[in-house]
């Protein structure tokens, strides 16, 4: 294999996680190091979350909390002020700006990297991974080509939404169904007066409603989820001191403590939820798998709407659309779909508490259930990783099993040498692992681990690795 296809570190996935890891490697590597970042879209930086072209899609976290660097919390604020001088730390800015910010952070890191450190952005989709004969890993791409690397980091992030496990009678294969509202042009076939049904009432539904509103949509927008709960709104207020939890072993006692703390919070429950952030991973780690499962079954929806909140201006748009009767959220279970003809879809719903089914006719159904939580489904690389035994699911099947620093555990529970992950794939182990504050901390820790490993193997100093020719 030619040296252009061999790397010391290959990062697979060029969203926020892969980009921030590459940035840390470029900033801190002093010796020879060859890093490649493989992204299937060819667009490194924004990933799924920050590549939206819509001006109405905002960050759901204020500017002050979105710096790429934990040790320089105002970095994003300073960058934003170069673009929009009036930006305040508490502003919720356009998500696409954050994608541009990540691109700019990577450009700067490349410019200032040590002379012996090289970085190569690559376009392609990794579909399988296996051990290479001379050590390290071989990664196969969709086009049949191969790359080799001593260490591989899977930063493949958020999965596309999954179809509901219900009878669809032709809907899922029809153009009346939008499988992912994030796909470019996903809403193009929807006329302004078409009634539509959105499956899900969380932040992905909110994004989709904003996109429809941007297109001056006037038809009715139905939105259903089992509880019919929408995300709460952010409110500026003082952060509460971190609650002191007596290491609860049960979800029920955790909930009890949270309720007590929130009742005591002088200003707002939001401070209590936010104060939990730094201790979430350790609280999660203390829970037995059965308790974590209980949380997912019974409390996840409630947690999500309190924790993942809407920007105030987004909340205002949603409020107006609801009071105008355009947006109609409903608590109902979807039982199935039927194509009435080429124009109309019928959804069978069981509204919560009604005890009978109702049907609803719409022109389009849009899947707004958010990233698929079942790992590996529809992702050839992850499927191949699990099938080969090089990686295994965490105990909840939300992501990959890892050690405390993101090294994968193989099928037998041993640390897989040279194979790592960060970001959403660590959700099952840490629970809080999908947002920028956690991802930037993981990127810093993982880059130190990778660089330490190269430094401690002088014979294997990065650019002198000898991989077999193929």
- Name the burial class of residue 407, with classes exposed (0-12), middle (13-18) and buried (19+) by CB atoms within 10 angstroms of its CB: middle
41 binds ligand FAD (CB under 6 A): yes
SS3 124: coil
Residues numbered 372-391 forming contacts with ligand FAD, rule: CB under 6 A: 381
423 binds ligand FAD (CB under 6 A): yes
Q: Among 7, 11, 34, 47, which residue sits at the site for ligand FAD (rule: CB under 6 A)?
A: 47
| Cβ nearer to ligand FAD, comparing 65 with 131 | 65
Distance CA 163, CA 333 (A): 14
14 binds ligand FAD (CB under 6 A): yes
Q: Are 391 and 409 a contacting pair, CB within 8 Å?
A: yes
Q: Among 10, 16, 80, 272, which residue sits at the site for ligand FAD (rule: CB under 6 A)?
A: 16
Q: Among 23, 25, 26, 48, which residue sits at the site for ligand FAD (rule: CB under 6 A)?
A: 48
315 binds ligand FAD (CB under 6 A): no
402 binds ligand FAD (CB under 6 A): no
Helix H or strand E segment including 263:
helix 251-264
Collect all residues with Cβ–Cβ distance below 8 Å to 367 and sequence separation of at least 6.
161, 163, 164, 177, 178, 179, 180, 181, 199, 200
Distance CA 405, CA 399 (A): 15
Other beta carbons within 10 Å of 307 = 17
Binding mask 194-233 for ligand FAD (x = CB under 6 A): ----------------------------------------
Distance CA 445, CA 436 (A): 14
Backbone angles phi, psi at 154, to 5 degrees: -90, 110
Give the interface segment with ligand FAD, choosing from 56-64, 272-280, 297-305, 408-416 (CB under 6 A): 56-64
| Cβ nearer to ligand FAD, comparing 197 with 382 | 382
Binding mask 154-173 for ligand FAD (x = CB under 6 A): -xxxx---------------
Give the interface segment with ligand FAD, choosing from 224-232, 282-290, 296-304, 435-443 (CB under 6 A): 435-443
433 binds ligand FAD (CB under 6 A): no
Collect all residues with Cβ–Cβ distance below 8 Å to 179 and sequence separation of at least 6.
160, 161, 163, 172, 367
435 binds ligand FAD (CB under 6 A): yes
Other beta carbons within 10 Å of 229 = 16
Note the residues at the interface with ligand FAD (CB under 6 A): 12-18, 38-41, 47-49, 59-61, 125-126, 155-158, 371, 381, 423-424, 434-436, 439
């Amino acid at each position: 294999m030619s040296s252009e296809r061999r790397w010391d570190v290959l990062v697979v996935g060029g969203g926020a996680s892969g980009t921030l890891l590459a940035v840390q490697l470029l900033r801190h590597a002093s010796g020879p190091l060859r890093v490649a970042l493989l992204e299937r879209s060819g667009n490194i930086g924004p990933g799924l979350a920050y590549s939206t072209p819509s001006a109405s899609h905002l960050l759901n976290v204020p500017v002050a909390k979105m710096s790429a660097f934990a040790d320089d919390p105002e970095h994003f604020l300073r960058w934003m002020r170069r673009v929009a001088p009036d930006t305040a730390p508490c502003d919720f800015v356009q998500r696409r700006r954050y994608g541009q910010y990540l691109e700019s952070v990577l450009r700067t890191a490349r410019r200032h990297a040590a002379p012996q450190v090289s970085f190569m952005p690559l376009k392609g989709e990794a579909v399988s991974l296996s051990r290479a004969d001379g050590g390290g890993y071989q990664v196969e791409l969709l086009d049949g080509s191969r790359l080799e690397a001593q260490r591989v980091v899977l930063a493949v992030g958020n999965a596309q939404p999954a179809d509901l496990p219900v009878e669809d009678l032709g809907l899922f294969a029809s153009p009346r169904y939008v499988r992912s509202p994030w796909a470019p042009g996903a809403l193009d076939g929807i006329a302004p007066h078409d009634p539509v049904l959105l499956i899900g009432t969380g932040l992905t539904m909110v994004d989709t409603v904003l996109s429809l509103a941007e297109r001056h949509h006037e038809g009715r927008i139905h939105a259903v989820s089992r509880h019919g709960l929408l995300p709460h709104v952010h409110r500026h207020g003082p952060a509460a001191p971190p609650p002191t939890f007596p290491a609860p072993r049960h979800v029920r006692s955790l909930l009890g403590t949270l309720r007590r703390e929130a009742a005591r919070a002088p200003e707002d429950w939001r401070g209590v939820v936010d104060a939990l952030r730094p201790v979430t991973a350790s609280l999660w780690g203390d829970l037995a798998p059965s308790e974590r499962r209980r949380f997912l079954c019974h409390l996840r929806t409630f947690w999500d709407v309190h924790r993942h909140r809407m920007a105030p201006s987004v909340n205002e748009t949603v409020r107006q659309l609801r009071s105008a009767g355009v947006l109609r959220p409903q608590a109902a279970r979807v039982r199935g779909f039927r194509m009435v003809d080429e124009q109309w879809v019928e959804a069978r719903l069981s509204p919560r508490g009604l005890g009978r089914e109702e049907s609803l006719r719409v022109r389009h159904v849009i899947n707004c259930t958010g990233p698929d939580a079942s790992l590996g489904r529809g992702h050839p690389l992850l499927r191949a990783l699990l099938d080969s035994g090089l990686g295994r699911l965490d105990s909840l099947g939300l992501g990959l099993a890892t050690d405390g620093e993101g090294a994968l555990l193989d099928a037998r529970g041993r640390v897989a040498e040279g194979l790592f992950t960060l970001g959403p794939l660590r959700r099952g182990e840490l629970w809080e692992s999908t947002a920028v504050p956690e991802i930037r901390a993981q990127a810093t820790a993982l880059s130190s681990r990778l660089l330490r490993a190269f430094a401690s193997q002088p014979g294997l100093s990065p650019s002198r690795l000898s991989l077999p020719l193929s």
